[in-house]
Amino acid sequence: MLNLLAKYALEHDLEAEPGFKPKQVRWLIVLDDQGTFIEVIELGKAEESKNRGHEYAKCPDLSQPEMISGGVTRCQFLVETADVVTLLSEKKDLNSTDITGEKSRKKFEFFKHLLRSSSLAIPQLGIIADSLDNEMSLDKIQSRLQTLKVKPTDKVTFKVGSLVPLESDIWHEWWRGFRKELALDQADKHAPKKDQLRINKKKTDVKDTMRCIVTGELVEPLKTHPKIERLADVGGIASGDVLIGFDKDAFCSYNLSQSENAAVGVQAAAAYRAALNHLIKETGQRLAGAKIVHWFKKKITNQEDPLDFLLEPEEIQELSASHGLRKLLTGIKEGQRSDLLENHFYAMTLSGASGRIMLRDWIEGDFTELVLNVVNWFNDLSIVRSDGAGLARDPKFLAVLGGTVRKLDDLQPPFISKMWRVAVCGEPIPGHVMTQALLRTKIDIIKDEGFNHARMGLIKAFNLRKQRQKGGSLMQDELRPLLNENHPDPAYQCGRLMAVMAQLQRRALGEVGAGLIQRYYAAASSTPALVLGRLTRTSQFHLNKLDPGLAYWYDSKIAEIWGHIKDNVPRTLSLESQSVFALGYYQQIADLRSGKSTESHEKQGAKNE
CB atoms within 10 A of CB 102: 9
Dist. CA 583–CA 568, nearest whole Å: 18
Which of residues 575 and 595 earns the better pLDDT score?
575
* The predicted structure's pLDDT at residue 472: 62
* The predicted structure's pLDDT at residue 278: 92
Give the chain's count of helices (H) and strands (E): 23, 14
Cα-only R_g, the chain: 33
- The residues with which 588 forms a beta bridge, in sequence order, are none
Residue 31 backbone dihedrals phi, psi, to 5 degrees: -120, 155
Closest CA to 380 of 469, 286, 496: 469
Dist. CA 517–CA 445, nearest whole Å: 7
Q: Cα–Cα–Cα angle for 148, 154, 159, nearest 5°?
A: 75
| DSSP letter assigned to residue 527 | -
Q: Do the Cβ atoms of 163 and 33 come closer than 8 Å?
A: no
Q: Do the Cβ atoms of 219 and 263 come closer than 8 Å?
A: yes
Closest CA to 228 of 237, 217, 215: 237
454-475 confidence digits (pLDDT tens): 999 999 999 999 988 877 666 6
pLDDT above 60: residue 603: no
* The predicted structure's pLDDT at residue 50: 85
279-302 confidence digits (pLDDT tens): 999 899 888 888 999 999 998 887
- Percent of the chain's residues with pLDDT above 70: 89
Parallel/antiparallel/unpaired status of strands 27-31 and 155-160: parallel
Dist. CA 285–CA 420, nearest whole Å: 12
3-class DSSP string for 301-319:
CHHHCHHHHHHCCHHHCCC
Dist. CA 229–CA 71, nearest whole Å: 25
240-267 confidence digits (pLDDT tens): 899 998 877 777 777 788 888 889 998 9
Dist. CA 203–CA 389, nearest whole Å: 78
12-21 confidence digits (pLDDT tens): 888 888 999 9
pLDDT range class, residue 102, cuts 50, 70, 90: confident
pLDDT above 60: residue 316: no
Could you give the C-alpha distances from 221 to 211, 244, 458, in angstroms and in order? 8, 12, 47
Dist. CA 11–CA 322, nearest whole Å: 31
Dist. CA 423–CA 609, nearest whole Å: 53
Dist. CA 169–CA 499, nearest whole Å: 73
CB atoms within 10 A of CB 24: 16
pLDDT above 90: residue 338: no
Q: Do the Cβ atoms of 145 and 86 come closer than 8 Å?
A: yes
Closest CA to 531 of 545, 517, 513: 517
Report the length, in residues, of the chain. Answer: 609
Binning the chain into helix, strand and coil, the percentages to the nearest 5 are 55, 10, 35
206-231 confidence digits (pLDDT tens): 357 899 999 999 998 988 898 998 99
Closest CA to 539 of 562, 571, 567: 562
Q: Do the Cβ atoms of 143 and 7 come closer than 8 Å?
A: no
Residues 6+ apart with CB under 8 A from 184: none
Lowest-pLDDT range, 127-136, 259-268, 489-498?
A: 259-268
* The predicted structure's pLDDT at residue 194: 47
* The predicted structure's pLDDT at residue 140: 94
Closest CA to 279 of 215, 226, 346: 346
Tell whether pTM > 0.75: yes
- Crossing angle between the packed helical segments 172-190 and 102-118, to the nearest 10 degrees: 130
Kindly compute the dihedral angle of the four CA atoms of residues 43, 47, 51, 56, in this order, to the nearest 10 degrees: -30
pLDDT above 70: residue 600: no
Dist. CA 162–CA 31, nearest whole Å: 9
pLDDT above 50: residue 190: no
Dist. CA 184–CA 192, nearest whole Å: 14
Which of residues 72 and 369 earns the better pLDDT score?
369
- The residues with which 291 forms a beta bridge, in sequence order, are 286, 350
Closest CA to 328 of 311, 312, 306: 306
Average pLDDT over the chain, rounded to an integer? 86
Dist. CA 584–CA 590, nearest whole Å: 10
Ordered DSSP codes for 105-157: HHHHHHHHHHHHHHTTT-HHHHHHHHHHH-HHHHHHHHHHHHHTT--TTSEEE
End-to-end CA distance of the chain, in Å? 74
**CA 368 from chain center: how many Å?**
23
Q: Where are the alpha helices (DSSP H) in 510-527?
A: 516-526
Dist. CA 364–CA 344, nearest whole Å: 7
Count of alpha carbons within 13 angstroms of residue 86, beta-carbon side: 32
